[in-house]
Structure 1
Amino acid sequence: MTTRKTALLLLLPGLAFLLVGFLVPSLAMLVAPPGVGTGEVVARVGQMLTDPYDLRIIGRTVGLGLIVTVVCIVLGFPIAYLLARSTSRWSSVLLALAIFPLLLSNVVRTFGWLVVLGSQGAIGKLLVGLGLVDRAPQLLYTELAIVLGLTQLFLPLAIISCYSAVAQVDAGLDDAARGLGASRSRTFWGIVVPLSSPGIVVAATLVFAGSVTAYTTPYLLGGSSQRMLSTQLFSYSSVTIDWAGASATALVMTVLVFVVSGLASLVARKGATQ
């Protein structure tokens, strides 16, 4: 009991800070922004769910978020598996290099894509130099640019989340399966992936939530022609000063994240019981 009370006392300052500094302002902005009633926010949400323009933005946000999530898991999990099972003395160095981009600013990493994808960028010059095209294609301000930028942004997060999950799977199970005649691929898909599924679900949830709510990368790489909910929210709150529209957009983003988090939790719970 004493240990439990001590733990509770240690948690109280952080919980109080989250409640007062995060939860209360967030609920106030979502439900009752300055000078706007709750009914008007609800009406704007209904308008967003029926307006073709807003539905395209919502669909683009969810679609690109899912694409980025799948790409990050497909690329990140094998890397995490190799790093977790590696016996090389350089494995820790390779892991540090894999997550090193997390130490850099999102703006810095995104501006790197501006240099690469621009009309005079490396990819355009390479295509022209190889004679594949007569002039550099327009790669900036496209959905492809957003996917590339968000994938680079959240791939290290997917790697470190999957790495922690794979590291908890006993490597002896791999040896036992191969000793019974299972191939490496069958061991990977039949043992490692199912036992690591809770970590994969957590990684997918974090990547999707980050992709849906990211602002800098979609703004710089997508421009005004490829708007997402985050850039639409910025436009409402800082350009047109439409607090009802901003609150409605924030509410839709929040619901999307909570729905995906709930579904991911159900998948993880079912995977753990099977």
Structure 2
Amino acid sequence: MRTRLATVLLLLPGLAFLLIGFLVPSLAMLFSPPGTATGDILVRLGQMLTDPYDLTIIGRTLLIGLVVTALCVTLGFPIAYLLARMTSRWSGVLLAVAIFPLLLSNVVRTFGWLVVLGSNGALGQLLTALGLVDEAPQLLYTPAAIVLGLTQLFLPLAIVTCYSAVSQVDAGLDNAARGLGASRTRTFWDVVLPLSLPGIVVAATLVFAGSVTAYTTPYLLGGSGNRMLATQLFTYSSISIDWASASATALVMTVLVFAVSAVSSVVARKGATS
């Protein structure tokens, strides 16, 4: 009883800070922004779900979020697996290099893509020099540019999350499977991957949530012709000062994140029981 009471007392400060500093402002923004009634927000939400322009933005945000999530998990998990199973003394250094971009500003990393993808950028000049194209293609301000930028932005997060999951899988299980005649490939698919699935689901959820709510990268790489929900939210809240539209947009973003999180939880539970 005393241990349980001590645990509750330790949790109370953090829970109070979370409630006051996060939940209260978030709920106020979603349901009661300045000078706006909840009914106005629901009306605007209904309009968004029937307006082709808003539906295009929602669909683009969802599609880009799913593509970025798939790329980050597909690229990040093999890297995490190799780093977790590496016995070299350089494994710690390589892990630090893999997650080093997390220490840099998102703006700095995104501006690097402006240099690479611009009309006079490095990639366009390379394609022209190789004779593959006569004129440098317009790579910037496209959905592909947003996907590249967000993948580079969240790949280190996927790596470090998957690395934590793989590290918790006993390497002795790999050796046992190999000793029973399983190949490296079958050991990876039948042993390591299923046991690491909860960590992979967490990585996918974090990447998707970050991709859907990212602002700087879609704004700089997508331009005004490829708006996402985050850039639209900024326009409503800071330029047009339309709080009803801003809250409706925030609600859509929140529902998308929670829906994908719920699906991920179901997948993780099924994977754990299979």
TM-score normalised by structure 1 residue count: 0.99
The residue type equivalent to 1:227 in the other structure is: R
Q: For residues 6 and 97 of structure 1, what CA distance do their matches in structure 2 show? A: 40
Q: Which residue of 1 aligns with 2:171?
A: 171
**Paired residues, number:** 274
Provide the aligned C-alpha RMSD in A. Answer: 0.7
Q: For residues 104 and 3 of structure 1, what CA distance do their matches in structure 2 show? A: 41
Q: For residues 77 and 211 of structure 1, what CA distance do their matches in structure 2 show? A: 18
Per-residue deviation, 1:4: 2.0
The residue type equivalent to 1:265 in the other structure is: S
Q: For residues 154 and 7 of structure 2, what CA distance do their matches in structure 1 show? A: 33
SS in 2 for 1:137: coil
Q: For residues 266 and 260 of structure 1, what CA distance do their matches in structure 2 show? A: 10
Q: For residues 224 and 7 of structure 2, what CA distance do their matches in structure 1 show? A: 49
Q: Which residue of 2 aligns with 1:22?
A: 22
Q: Does 1:88 align with 2:88?
A: yes
Per-residue deviation, 1:242: 0.5
| Cα offsets for 1:153-212 (capped at 9, x unmatched) | 000000011001111111111111111111111111111111110000000000000000
Q: For residues 177 and 20 of structure 2, what CA distance do their matches in structure 1 show? A: 51
Q: Which residue of 2 aligns with 1:244?
A: 244
Q: Which residue of 1 aligns with 2:62?
A: 62
The residue type equivalent to 1:83 in the other structure is: L
The residue type equivalent to 1:177 in the other structure is: A
Q: Which residue of 2 aligns with 1:102?
A: 102
Q: Which residue of 1 aligns with 2:73?
A: 73
Q: For residues 265 and 87 of structure 2, what CA distance do their matches in structure 1 show? A: 33
TM-score normalised by structure 2 residue count: 0.99
Q: Does 1:118 align with 2:118?
A: yes
Q: Equivalences for 1:1-274 in 2 at 5 Å?
A: 1-274=1-274
The residue type equivalent to 1:138 in the other structure is: Q
| Cα offsets for 1:108-167 (capped at 9, x unmatched) | 000010011111111011001101111111111000100000000000000011001111
SS in 2 for 1:196: helix
Q: For residues 21 and 206 of structure 1, what CA distance do their matches in structure 2 show? A: 21
Over the matched positions of the two proteins, sequence identity in percent amounts to 79
Q: Which residues of structure 1 form unaligned runs of 5+?
A: none
The residue type equivalent to 1:245 in the other structure is: S
The residue type equivalent to 1:206 in the other structure is: L
Q: For residues 267 and 115 of structure 2, what CA distance do their matches in structure 1 show? A: 40
Q: For residues 8 and 120 of structure 1, what CA distance do their matches in structure 2 show? A: 59
Per-residue deviation, 1:3: 2.2
Q: For residues 81 and 29 of structure 1, what CA distance do their matches in structure 2 show? A: 41
Q: For residues 38 and 105 of structure 1, what CA distance do their matches in structure 2 show? A: 36
The residue type equivalent to 1:182 in the other structure is: A
Q: Which residues of structure 2 form unaligned runs of 5+?
A: none
